[in-house]
Amino acid sequence: MYVSHLECPKCSLTYESERLIQLCVCGSPLLVRYDLNKIRTVFSKDSLLNRKPDLWRYRELLPVKKQEHIVSLGEGMTPVLHLKNIGPELNMPALYMKDEGMLPSGTFKDRGAAVGVSRAKELGVKVLAMPTNGNAGGSWATYSAPANIRAIIIMPKDAPAINLKEVSVKGADLYLVDGLISDAGKIVGRAVSQHGWFDASTLKEPYRIEGKKTMGLELAEQFNWEIPDVILYPTGGGVGIIGIYKALKELQELGWINDKMPRLVSVQSTGCAPIVKAWEEKKSESVFWDNAKTMAFGITVPKALGDFLVLDAVYKTDGCAIAVEDKQIIKAQQMIAAREGAFVCPEGAATLAAAIQLVKKNWIKADDTVVLLNTGTGLKYPQTVETNPPVLQPDDSISI
Amino acid sequence: MYVSHLECPKCSLTYESERLIQLCVCGSPLLVRYDLNKIRTVFSKDSLLNRKPDLWRYRELLPVKKQEHIVSLGEGMTPVLHLKNIGPELNMPALYMKDEGMLPSGTFKDRGAAVGVSRAKELGVKVLAMPTNGNAGGSWATYSAPANIRAIIIMPKDAPAINLKEVSVKGADLYLVDGLISDAGKIVGRAVSQHGWFDASTLKEPYRIEGKKTMGLELAEQFNWEIPDVILYPTGGGVGIIGIYKALKELQELGWINDKMPRLVSVQSTGCAPIVKAWEEKKSESVFWDNAKTMAFGITVPKALGDFLVLDAVYKTDGCAIAVEDKQIIKAQQMIAAREGAFVCPEGAATLAAAIQLVKKNWIKADDTVVLLNTGTGLKYPQTVETNPPVLQPDDSISI
């Protein structure tokens, strides 16, 4: 393993990486740093040729020391689809979508959980706890099971039934709370300090980002190390955009890609857009968004712990932040399904809605290579589709 | 493309492959034959090294002529997981599961649909129709959308809501029938003959098998061209087991693998076990199974059009056929989820239940390499999991 240390991006304090740690003493999330000079001598693009198509193909850039600690369900190397039907019509002939629905739990949360749980196992964690709106809980339950880690998952009582069921079947300890994810978070906070459990909440441990980072590594490889011009990312906690940015910086330091960065776009919903507001006001941090509400449940995060890192990535890459309405999300979801065949989650659909707006504003140009990040499968969101098909009798005939 | 002709496995009649065709005049499904001598000169294991991890990496062994006709959502190269926790406990240290849940629609049906629709597009199909219990309809709707083919899908009115929704959102024409899949099939039969639509029902066109065949090609590659000892496959229409057998025969003819065949196990439910009954009676065809009923909806096929091909594959490989009870299926599903982290569909879980029985009968031995074929994600089967978690108030505390 090539981890050199952990570093606070806020106060620059460093920590050694072989002990269990949560946040920096200043309250900021910690980032994992690697000995990239050493990695450069042992890891090359050719190393990848014979490796399996999962995220562990980049193991030199991941924080697990021993192979035996890795828990894997084959996650990673999700496809990048060229949206050949809708792209040209929308004046984006080079429009692509990275489809994170094709992961073990149908969501990009699996990446953070695969790496986070593997590292937690390596560092001796026996019990972890986390609040969730649903998908992250499913993913951490997924990997905790083979890792023999007991997972305590708390989610709002109105979370989708499929999320409750997947957490339960995977053997985690599931609790509901008569409240919001923030209430779940408070219960978790009290419990971890009382019982000494590991807190697996978003960004409260350093390794989830490393898993999410692999989206950036894969995109670079899948575009043959020629970075696309624009990447649109639906932003709740923002771990993915932070991870993609970190991945590309590391690849630059390794000399695998040139200095060009993609313009990173943080996509939110008009019902919960703290990052967008901060970006519009040129702030470096966001302000808590009151009465957050959007059908894109996964990006209903009123104030993200890593907001300053998201904004930093957007500013440094000449990106932008943009909010879309729920009705635009639904329309985009239907468009991707009916024209390209992919049933995406509302958060993923939001990125297409945003791209359409950015073309109108001429911020995205026809010669840009544009990548939408679809963070999960629509199969976990049946409530987003209404249908009322005709019912036939066995003797009926049909025509069109 | 290296297709030489189509061949009837029952009466041996041959057909040329460049026109649209459904069944043989004798009523049997047709099989695609290739010029393997020619393929041997242009295609080698090394050809695979730089190809993307999807099923089109085996394009020389697939029936699509022009690249531009391929509709793809990145399907294929699903992971093979070593079940390290439950395998040793069940006296199968080399127990593996190929996880077909990680496909665009969460089901192995995507393979047949990707190849079937691509070839249908190539041959000029504008409208296709099919009956389905749910998943196949979802998959054919998935690929028909980007192929600009109009898909008419008919399913029983009590099919799971998620299947209705995914077919609808993908823009297919969805009808329900107040009856069984056989009633849907009759409506489709009348409609295709009346309107000249393409009939995409199971095995009524030759190309779906070719897509399913890629499970066998992938397994061979993933086991480094050393074929495992036993493959267990949940059998409804049986297209997958027919396809795997066909794939391995073709690889043998190419000289990529040796003469060893895996023992193929056809797994059914005690509520619908026509293949098992035929195998026990050493018959070459099955008899219609009355009052078929099992929670494993996908294998509720009372009489498969390709039953004689399934039985042939089982006999020729010294395999067997075995039925399991619904309660064993549920138990197996929970075991895989809670110990290995994978939420599998009931059909996939049935293969573990069957393997456990075959170990008891000493038919599977401890030194056998055993592969379970999980045909889809459990996320499409929320009804298989019951959960009733405690509801907390925000001020509550928890402990374990």
Angstroms from A312 CA to nearest CA on chain B? 33
In chain A, the percentage of residues whose pLDDT exceeds 70 is 100
How does residue B158 score in pLDDT terms, banded at 50, 70 and 90? confident
Q: Give the per-residue pLDDT at B180.
A: 86
Provide the pLDDT for residue B22: 97
Contact A73 B81 (CB under 8 A): yes
Region B112-137: mean pLDDT is 97
Cα distances (angstroms) measured from residue A287 to each of A44, A233, A281, A314 = 42, 20, 11, 17
For residue B298, name the pLDDT band (cuts at 50, 70, 90): confident
| Per-residue pLDDT tens over the stretch A247-303 | 999 999 999 999 999 999 999 999 999 999 999 999 999 999 999 989 998 898 999
B162 touches chain A (CB under 8 A): yes
pLDDT of A50 reads 87
Nearest residue on chain B to A139, alpha-carbon basis:
B341
Whether the pLDDT of residue A353 is over 90: the answer is: yes
Does some domain include residue B348? Answer: yes
Over 90: is that where the pLDDT of A349 sits? Answer: yes
CB-based contact B400 A337, cutoff 8 Å: no
> How much is the pLDDT for A200?
98
Establish if B44 belongs to a structural domain: no
Mutate to test the interface with A, among B387, B391, B395, B397 (most CBs of A within 10 A): B387
Q: Which candidate in B183, B379, B380 is best for mutational testing of the A interface (most A CBs within 10 A)?
A: B379
**CB spacing of A146 vs B195 below 8 angstroms:** no
Would you say residue B309 lies in a domain?
A: yes
Q: Dihedral angle at the C-alpha atoms of A136, A141, A143, A145, nearest 10 degrees?
A: 180
Whether the predicted pLDDT of B115 surpasses 90: yes
pLDDT score at B361: 98
The pLDDT of A196-224, averaged and rounded, is 97
Does B174 fall in a domain? Answer: no
How far apart are alpha carbons B82 and A334 in whole angstroms? Answer: 37
A372: its two tokens: 């939408």
Q: What pLDDT was estimated at residue A212?
A: 98
Buried b (16+ CB within 10 A) or exposed e, A94-121: bbbbbbbbbbbbbbbbbbbbbbbbbbbb
| For chain A, percent of residues with pLDDT exceeding 90 | 94
Alpha carbon of A8: minimum distance to chain B alpha carbons (Å): 31
Q: Where does the pLDDT of residue B153 fall: very low under 50, low under 70, confident under 90, or very high at 90 and above? A: very high
Mean pLDDT of all residues belonging to chain A:
97
Q: Which of B127, B130, B219, B385 to mutate to test the interface with A (most CBs of A within 10 A)?
A: B385
Smallest CA–CA distance, residue B234 to chain A, in Å, is 20
CA dihedral B261, B265, B266, B269 (to 10 degrees): -170
CB pairs below 8 Å between A and B: how many?
251
Provide the residue range defining the domain that includes A368: 80-106+207-384
Q: What is the pLDDT of residues B69-88, one digit of tens each?
A: 999 999 999 999 999 999 99
Model confidence over A227-251: pLDDT tens digits? 999 999 999 999 999 999 999 999 9
Query: How far A391 CA sits from the closest chain B CA (Å)?
Result: 5
Query: Taking CB atoms and an 8 Å cutoff, what residues of chain B touch A142?
Result: 341-343
The answer to whether residue B13 neighbours chain A at the CB level (below 8 Å) is no
CA separation, residue B348 to residues A101, B92, B299 (Å): 20, 17, 10
Which residues make Cβ contacts (< 8 Å) with residue A347, sequence separation at least 6?
A234, A236, A296, A298, A299, A375, A376
Q: What is the mean pLDDT of residues B274-295?
A: 95
Read off the pLDDT of residues B323-374 as tens digits, 9 standing for 90 and up: 999 999 999 999 999 999 999 999 999 999 999 999 999 999 999 999 999 9
For the segment B17-70, what is each residue's pLDDT rounded down to a tens digit? 999 999 999 999 999 999 999 999 999 999 998 899 999 999 999 999 999 999
Q: What angle do CA A16, A109, A387 make, to 5 degrees?
A: 170
Among A288-297, A350-359, B100-109, name the one with the lowest average pLDDT.
A288-297
Q: Is B202 part of a structural domain of the chain? A: no
Interface test with A, best of B398, B399, B400 (most A CBs within 10 A): B398
CATH number at residue B233: 3.40.50.1100
CB contact at 8 A, B160 and B106? no
Nearest CB to B54: which of A79, A145, A164?
A: A79
Number of domains in chain B: 1
CB contact at 8 A, A259 and A252: yes
pLDDT at A243: 98
Q: What is the pLDDT of residue A31?
A: 98
Percent of residues, chain B, with pLDDT higher than 70? 100
Q: What is the pLDDT of residue A33?
A: 98
Instruction: Decide if A316 is inside a domain.
Output: yes
Q: Rounded to whole angstroms, how far apart are CA atoms A177 and A153? A: 10
Q: Considering the domain boundaries, does residue A53 fall inside one?
A: no
Tell me the pLDDT of chain B averaged across its residues: 97
Alpha carbon of A355: minimum distance to chain B alpha carbons (Å): 20
B45 touches chain A (CB under 8 A): no
B85, A385: Cβ pair inside 8 Å?
Answer: no
Half-sphere exposure of B301 (CA within 13 A, CB side): 25
For residue B143, the chain A residues in CB contact (below 8 A) are: 341
B158 or B306, which is more confident = B306
Of B387, B392, B394, the CB nearest to A168: B387
B330 and A CB contact within 8 Å: no
B 164-203 residues with CB < 8 A to A? 164-171, 173-179, 183, 186-187, 190-191, 194-195
Q: Is A343 helix (H, G, I), strand (E, B) or coil?
A: coil
